[in-house]
Amino acid sequence: GDSVTQMEGPVTLSEEAFLTINCTYTATGYPSLFWYVQYPGEGLQLLLKATKADDKGSNKGFEATYRKETTSFHLEKGSVQVSDSAVYFCALRGFNKFYFGSGTKLNVKP
Amino acid sequence: EAGVTQFPSHSVIEKGQTVTLRCDPISGHDNLYWYRRVMGKEIKFLLHFVKESKQDESGMPNNRFLAERTGGTYSTLKVQPAELEDSGVYFCASSQGQQTSTEAFFGQGTRLTVV
């Protein structure tokens, strides 16, 4: 069945460091891929998405490319800020439902 | 436009008691989903409504969980009787369509603690 695997956290970085959070997936058919973010005390918010192979989603300096050959959708940001501290969830949307990874907590220190 | 709203935000109940969670989706969204995150693990699907009908309830853990969506508007998720393993964060989401490209909008979640 469909599933998502993302790197374990927590990830602790200094401000302005480069961020990569790995995400791989298993899916039948042609899913769309998403990154959701949960800031402290808030709900899940869509960060970015990609709907087909080789698409790149981007938002707020974050990027992720839908790689069908490696079944991956890694999240990257060139220079993180303290305000990026949150839990990041990789997800795929198959037929009528989302499948989520376990979440990666990011702590950014000033 | 109001987002997805969930009540309560937190609930602490004793084992064996009953708890009812409520979700108000975005107006006009026919699709409503319930998800649960237990102990920092992945967010798992519970069930999916299209309007008032249950489209998929394959993720419901057992018959202690009952979800309803009368009139196709808000939804409730009742746990009766609650067990310790039911503790977690319950998320509700809604979407306008069912295409794989369609994002879902999530509420803030209800943190349920069973003691």
Average pLDDT of B93-110?
88
Q: Could you tell me the pLDDT band of residue B29, with boundaries at 50, 70 and 90? A: very high
B36 burial via Cβ count (<10 Å: 0-12, 13-18, 19+): buried
pLDDT, tens digit (0-9, with 9 covering 90-100), for A54-91: 999 999 999 999 999 999 999 999 999 999 999 999 99
For the residues A32-38, what does the mean pLDDT come to?
95
Among candidate residues A73, A68, A90, A78, the one with its CA nearest the CA of residue A19:
A78
- ∠ CA A13-A16-A19, nearest 5°, is 55
**Closest Cα in chain B, distance from residue A33 (Å):** 8
Residue B98 in contact with partner chain A when CB distance is under 8 A: yes
Q: Within 10 A of A26 (CB to CB), how many other CB atoms are there? A: 13
Examine the pLDDT at B71 and tell me if it is beyond 90. no
Residue among B40, B100, B106 whose CB faces A32 most closely: B100
Q: Kindly state the DSSP code that residue B83 receives in the 8-state scheme.
A: -
Interatomic CA distance for residues B6 and B34, integer angstroms: 11
- Give mean pLDDT, residues B3-20: 96
Residue-averaged pLDDT of chain B? 93
Q: What's the number of CA atoms in the CB half-sphere (13 Å) around residue B5?
A: 9
What is the model's pLDDT at position A25?
Answer: 96
Helix (H, G, I), strand (E, B) or coil at B72: helix
Joined tokens for residue B79:
């746990």
Say which amino acid occupies B47.
L
pLDDT at A29: 82
Strand pairing class (A3-6; B19-24): unpaired
Compare B98 and B85 and report the one with higher pLDDT.
B85
Q: Mark yes or no for CB contact A94/B100 under 8 Å.
A: yes
Residues 6+ apart with CB under 8 A from B53: none
Chain A residues touching B109 at Cβ < 8 A: 43-44
Residue B1: is its pLDDT beyond 80?
A: no
Report the pLDDT value the prediction gives residue A8, as an integer from 0 to 100.
Answer: 85
User: What's the pLDDT tens digit per position in B35-66?
Assistant: 999 987 889 999 999 999 999 999 999 999 99
Cβ distance A97 to B103 less than 8 Å, yes or no, reads no
**pLDDT-based confidence at B81, cuts 50/70/90?**
very high
B63 Cβ contact list (under 8 Å, min separation 6): none
| Distance (Å) from the alpha carbon of A42 to chain B's nearest alpha carbon | 5
